[in-house]
Amino acid sequence: MKHILYILSILIITLSACEKEIEVDLPPSTPQLVVEASVNTYSPWLNYVFISNTIDYFKPDLSFNGVKGATVYITPGKIINNDTLFDKANRYTFADLSNLGNIPGLDSIGKSISGMYLNPLFRATANTSYLLEISLADGRVIAARTHIPPIVSIDSMKVRYDGIGETGKKNAYLSFWFNDGPEQNNYRMALRNNPDSVLFGWGNADSYRTFDDEFVNNGVIPLEFLRPFEGGDTLNIYFTSIGRKEFRFWQSFGRAANNGGPFATPGNVKSNIDGVIGSFTGYAVYFKRIIFDE
């Protein structure tokens, strides 16, 4: 009996789910317009408007399906008598990267990519609203607004060194605290470990967190990283405050980006630009760099 049980237990342990490749026939889809627009208080590399189209699911193409030939403006708002006014005289034109001349630091970027609209001279400030206007070559017009909230700063940080990791370096556990104000706040944090260049596009970061102050409002909120960093690492933290609609978009984006398996819930992101997929987000950035002990 013991012998049988032993053999059988091995059988169970080696048993795991199997998988095989299958053919799935999906009908062709109509392309939809996708807009990713960002304005921020910290870096000109994070002010951009990316415009692309969706592609059929099984189309053998994993590139950015950019849309060229669009006219793109971003206008800062001014508050006059409790109304926000966007004056055309103050607007900035964002030009397709492939049409821009040489920009210091961006020399090496492939000019063949279309659909990335930039203006290296544009700067954004906290407590300001921005208007995005896009006119496409086919005549479609898209408009969206965002507001950059006040910057929230990280109050204190702590690093706990505990044990040696797989690469033989110290395990560095990071935690920090910040003071959440009485108003409702939404946060989005991007991390970049051992950066070797500027952060161009939020997608160039390594990891992200999107959260709000649902559980602790108007108090000190602690954040702790469960996975250790390595001794000697340099970590750039972009700790940002964003608006509620923008938060709702990035929250749904996070769920859409990590969606799979048997209990995946099919769903589409909560866009905050009418008529397209995507978001126009204004970021109030608090930047912090840490170098962990060797």
Query: Residue 95: in which H helix or E strand, if any?
Result: strand 92-96
Sort residue 7 into left (φ over 0), alpha (ψ -120 to 50) or beta. Answer: alpha
Q: Reduce the DSSP state of residue 71 to 3 states and report it.
A: strand
Q: What count of other Cβ atoms lies within 10 Å of the Cβ of residue 187?
A: 23
Instruction: Give the shortest CB-267-to-another protein separation in angstroms.
Output: 2
Which positions from 34 through 73 interact with another protein, judged by CB under 8 A? 34, 36, 50, 52-58, 60-65
Which positions from 202 through 241 interact with another protein, judged by CB under 8 A? 202-205, 208, 214-216, 219-220, 222, 224, 226-228
Which positions from 173 through 192 interact with another protein, judged by CB under 8 A? 173, 175, 177, 184
| Smaller CB separation from another protein, 93 or 175 | 175
Total binding residues toward another protein, as defined by CB under 8 A: 98
For residue 144, how many C-alpha atoms fall within 13 Å in the half-sphere facing its CB? 24
274 forms part of the interface with another protein (CB under 8 A):
no
Report the residue from 9, 90, 193, 194 that binds another protein according to the rule CB under 8 A: 9
Across 29-48, b (16+ Cβ under 10 Å) vs e yields: eeeebbbbbbbbbbebbbbb
Binding mask 149-168 for another protein (x = CB under 8 A): -----------x-xx-x---
80 forms part of the interface with another protein (CB under 8 A):
no
